[in-house]
């Protein structure tokens, strides 16, 4: 299975940029498709899709969220960070399916 | 609007079988696939398996021997059955719509399952 590695936590100040990284154990790109996706999860809630296929904003997601990357290295950027963005963020790959696999999550905290 | 809702027992005895139902609305099970994902408390999600829109299934190889996913399209329901439950199967179980993006675009609220005697 493809293993996704995320840093456990990131501290950021409100109004600043947050950059959350995800590294895959092998490439998750096929042709022009980068099969990496990002979710936000707040305590007691289900995951919410933010970004699909590395850089596409999901429906209803604010433009301060963006995604980039290809191959094995991907980034979720939040700029500027707002109080409502304090949550845990997960990357997920679908290059190898089954199974989808998820990263361990990055907890975004206030500095 | 699109909705998914999981239902099932909150407590299961060790070695018993877990049965969960995902009831969907706002879309057709013959047009969209539905995946089951579980999440132990404080840990990342784990994809369990998928009911494809055409009725085919796919499973996580780590769970395949214990897991079965089926559906009733007339009732807009997808079912999960997993046997031989152990304490490390405790967690929140979600169903999610999988619109061939490779990601889940709508998720149910989840059902908390505790495996304990």
| A92/B contact by beta carbon, under 8 A | yes
For B49, the 3-state DSSP assignment is strand
Q: Which residues of A32-61 are buried (b: 16+ CB within 10 A; e: fewer)?
A: eebbbbbbbbeeeebbbbbbbbbbeebeeb
Of the partner residues A45, A53, A101, the one whose CB lies closest to the CB of residue B101: A53
pLDDT digits (tens, 9 = 90+) for B5-62: 999 999 999 999 999 999 999 999 999 999 999 999 999 999 999 999 999 999 999 9
For B117, the 3-state DSSP assignment is coil
| B47/A contact by beta carbon, under 8 A | yes
pLDDT digits (tens, 9 = 90+) for A15-32: 999 999 999 999 999 988
Beta strands in A1-111 (DSSP E): 4-5, 9-12, 18-24, 29-30, 33-34, 36-41, 48-52, 56-57, 65-70, 73-78, 88-93, 101-102, 106-110
């Amino acid at each position: 299975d493809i293993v996704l590695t995320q840093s456990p936590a990131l501290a950021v100040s409100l109004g600043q940029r947050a950059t959350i990284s995800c590294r895959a154990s092998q490439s998750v790109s096929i042709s022009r498709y980068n099969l990496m996706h990002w979710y936000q999860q707040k305590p007691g809630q289900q995951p919410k899709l933010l970004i699909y296929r590395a850089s596409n904003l999901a429906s209803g997601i604010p433009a301060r969220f963006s995604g980039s990357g290809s191959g094995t290295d991907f980034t979720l950027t939040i700029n500027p960070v707002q109080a409502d963005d304090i949550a845990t963020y997960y990357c997920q790959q679908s290059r190898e399916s089954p199974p989808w696999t998820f990263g361990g999550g990055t907890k975004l905290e206030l500095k | 609007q699109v909705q998914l809702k999981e239902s099932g027992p909150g407590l299961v005895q060790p070695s018993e079988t877990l049965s969960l139902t995902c009831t969907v609305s706002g879309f057709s099970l013959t047009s969209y696939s539905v995946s089951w994902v579980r999440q132990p408390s404080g840990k990342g999600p784990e994809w369990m398996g998928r009911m494809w829109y055409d009725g085919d299934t796919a499973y996580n190889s780590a769970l395949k021997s214990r897991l079965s996913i089926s559906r009733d399209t007339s009732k807009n329901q997808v079912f999960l059955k997993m046997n031989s439950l152990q304490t490390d199967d405790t967690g929140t179980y979600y169903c999610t719509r999988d619109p061939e993006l490779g990601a889940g675009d709508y998720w149910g609220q989840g059902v908390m399952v505790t495996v304990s005697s």
